Amino acid sequence: MKVIVVGAGSIGFRHLSNLLALRSAGRLPMPIDTVVVAEPHPATRERVRESFADQPVTSVETLSQADAAAGDAVLICTPAHYHVAQALQCVERGCHLFIEKPLAITLDKSDTLVRQVEERGVTALVACNMWFHPAIREINTRLASGAIGQPRLFRSYWGHHVSQWNPGASLKGHYSLDPDQGGGSLFDVGAHEFFFVPQLLGAIREASCDCGPSGVFDSAVDDFSHTVSALETGVRGTFSFNFLDRCRRRSLEVIGDEGSILWNSEGKQPIRERLRIHPGNGEWTEIPVTPIADTMYEATLQHFFNAIHGTESVIQSVAQARETLALILALRQTGRYTSTPSPR
């Protein structure tokens, strides 16, 4: 199989590194014969060449030069506004798709992509690394076992000051503050939380949101958002995201009829993780979680190739990611969202 990595910026470089490590360790279900990187910037291509000089990696400037063909796997790791056009270019050739989140920044041609993926019968996964976080996996296991009874309420939080993402780098032109690159808390964080929380607790039926620029940054994007939601399962809860918290915090609390689960993640290098469960009639119990830097990303890639191999079903399809995109756009544009019933 040939694998093409489109875009070798921060996330593309990470996926490329993990792909090569997984291949070397024999942890993929099929042999990867050829790896091609399509990257327009000469300096980035040179970084790839220097970093993987001992690996058989070919670098080209454009996706067209990568010569994608039926059966190839393509990892689309470019800015979000390129995703759908590049995905359509690949699916028309019968390629399997791994698309970084978010799927896009508009719904334009997203329905066409959903339809073509189905018609061509290719495997298409939209990145969902947080689903493979050990704390989220443990929460899923505990909820499935009925450890806290029927879930009723939840609170999801994410906060990290944007200046700390890449210390020393200028915020001018930073993708997270650029609406044309999918910036803003709803796009950048919601693409994660709006996926894995419903996976745990049920699809979002309706939601309302207060979001916008706080005035801290020279940007019109929503650097904060507060969303109140009702899920199809009857569970209700809130999502709160911001680019202002200098403590770097992420958390999820789920309250059930018979107990509660609380996950907190704080700091950076090192990240401090704490997962606790309360049975309702006793004391908090600590549940060990030891996230390793690239474990989630490696697991996501393994899941993608296992899905191509036919041993797993994709966790987040293009159709699911399109619905998340519709949610984000509705909340950003009107402050309200109501799900569309699936046709029977």
**Contact indicator for 109, 222 with CB cutoff of 8 Å:** no
Average pLDDT of span 216-227: 95
| Stretch (H or E) spanning 139 | helix 134-144
pLDDT in the model for residue 232: 98
Walk me through the domains of the chain, giving residue ranges and CATH numbers.
2-127 (3.40.50.720), 134-290 (3.30.360.10)
**Contact indicator for 194, 239 with CB cutoff of 8 Å:** yes
Q: Look at residues 247, 258, 308, 229 and name the one whose alpha carbon lies nearest to residue 142.
A: 258
Average pLDDT of span 218-243: 97
Q: 220-229, 285-294, 332-341 — which is least confidently predicted?
A: 285-294
Which sign, positive or negative, has the C-alpha torsion 270, 102, 72, 302?
positive
Q: Does position 320 have pLDDT exceeding 90, yes or no? A: yes
Which long-range contacts (C-beta less than 8 Å, at least 24 apart) are formed by 272-277? 273/135, 275/135, 275/138, 275/139, 277/142, 277/147, 277/148
Reported as a single tens digit per residue, the pLDDT across 116-164 is: 999 999 999 999 999 999 999 999 999 999 999 999 999 999 999 999 9
Torsion of Cα atoms, 52 then 58 then 59 then 65, to 10°: -160
What is each CA distance from 36 to 57, 68, 123, 145, in whole angstroms?
A: 6, 10, 19, 43
pLDDT in the model for residue 174: 85
Reported as a single tens digit per residue, the pLDDT across 245-282 is: 999 999 999 999 999 999 999 988 788 999 999 998 88
What tokens were used for 39?
A: 């990257």
pLDDT in the model for residue 134: 93
To the nearest whole percent, how much of the chain has pLDDT over 90? 88
pLDDT in the model for residue 168: 78
pLDDT in the model for residue 342: 57
How confident is the prediction for the chain on average, in pLDDT? 95
- 208 - beta bridge partners? 228, 336
Q: Does position 105 have pLDDT exceeding 90, yes or no? A: yes
CA distance 9 to 64: 18
CA distance 188 to 127: 13
Tell me the CB-side half-sphere exposure of residue 272, using CA atoms within 13 A: 5
Q: How do the residues of the chain divide into helix, strand and coil, expressed in percent and rounded to 5? A: 35, 25, 40
pLDDT in the model for residue 294: 81
CA distance 37 to 51: 13
Q: Does position 341 have pLDDT exceeding 70, yes or no? A: no
Q: Does position 344 have pLDDT exceeding 50, yes or no? A: no
Reported as a single tens digit per residue, the pLDDT across 11-70 is: 999 999 999 999 999 999 999 999 999 999 999 999 999 999 999 999 999 999 999 999
Which sign, positive or negative, has the C-alpha torsion 72, 137, 222, 173?
negative
Give the three-class secondary structure for 2: strand
What is each CA distance from 17 to 129, 138, 225, in whole angstroms?
A: 15, 27, 33
Amino acid in position 90? C
Reported as a single tens digit per residue, the pLDDT across 160-178 is: 999 998 887 788 878 899 8
